[in-house]
Every structure is written in C-alpha cells, then in structure tokens.
Amino acid sequence: MHILVVDDEPHVTLVIEHAGQVWGADVHTAHTLEEARTVLSETPHIDVLLLDIRLPDGSGLEFLDELREQEPTKDMPVIILTGAGENQLMSGADRRGVRCVTKPFSPSKLGRMIAELIGSDPDDA
C-alpha cells in the first residue's frame, strides 16, 4: 500500500510515517502542494491521499479539485486532515465526497479508515 501525506506540520507526517511502518505501508510525504505534485508524478500508484486543507502554497480543497479533473487521480481515495474548528472547510470536503479526520487523530482509527477506503481488512491496519 502506498500512502501520500500532504501536510505542512512535520509532526503529523512523522506520526503517519511511523504508523505506516506498523501497517506495512510505503508512506510518501509532501509539505507543500508543489512537493505533492512531484511525488504524484514520480510515484506510479498511490493508494490513498491524506491531505491537509491549509498548506503554505494553496488550498488542499482546490488541489483535490485539480486531482479530480485528471484521469490518473480522479478516483483516488482521499482523507482530509483538518484542524479542530474548521467546520466550514470540512463542509467543502463533504461536498467533494471525501472523508475527514480532525487533528489530533488516533493513528489506529486513521488506519482503519484507510483500510476501509481501499477495501482491505480493517484489522490489518
């Protein structure tokens, strides 16, 4: 399983990288949208995208819209990572048909959500 984490908070990416080792996943990280575009162009298959809403170089929701317009990424499972109190932004994610996780989050719950999205056994995550 290949996971791309796009979040500008280093501790968030570190937590998910560590959890990814437990899940047996390859975790790719990006701290900006530009880095995310590079990872997507260099990595042939990403199984799930974990995407922060507020990034230094743009909106995660606008990036999601961009991905939905491209054939290779239009159906990629996405989980939005958001801070508490960003309810208005989360409603934008709901309209786009993606799941949301509020930071701070439980790595085990996130693992189960990822497993459900990609159709694997939730107990494996």
Inter-helix orientation angle 107-118/10-23, to 10°: 60
Percent of the chain at pLDDT > 70 equals: 85
Q: Is the pLDDT of residue 92 over 60?
A: no
Q: CA 43, 89, 27: angle at the middle one, nearest 5?
A: 25
Mean pLDDT of 97-112: 88
Separation between Cα atoms, residue 69 and residue 21, nearest integer Å:
31
Domains of the chain in sequence order: 2-96 (3.40.50.2300)
Mean of all residue pLDDT scores within the chain = 87
Which residues have C-beta within 8 Å of that of residue 115, sequence separation ≥ 6? 121, 122, 123, 124, 125
Full-prediction pTM beyond 0.85? yes
Q: Is the pLDDT of residue 81 over 60?
A: yes
Mean pLDDT of 6-21: 95
Inter-helix orientation angle 60-68/87-95, to 10°: 0
pLDDT (0 to 100) of residue 84:
59
Selected residue with higher pLDDT from 120 and 109 = 109
| pLDDT band for position 120 (cuts 50, 70, 90) | confident
Among candidates 57, 50, 56, 1, which has minimal Cα distance to 29?
50
pLDDT (0 to 100) of residue 122:
47
Separation between Cα atoms, residue 83 and residue 104, nearest integer Å:
7
pLDDT digits (tens, 9 = 90+) for 22-57: 999 999 999 999 999 999 999 979 999 999 988 999
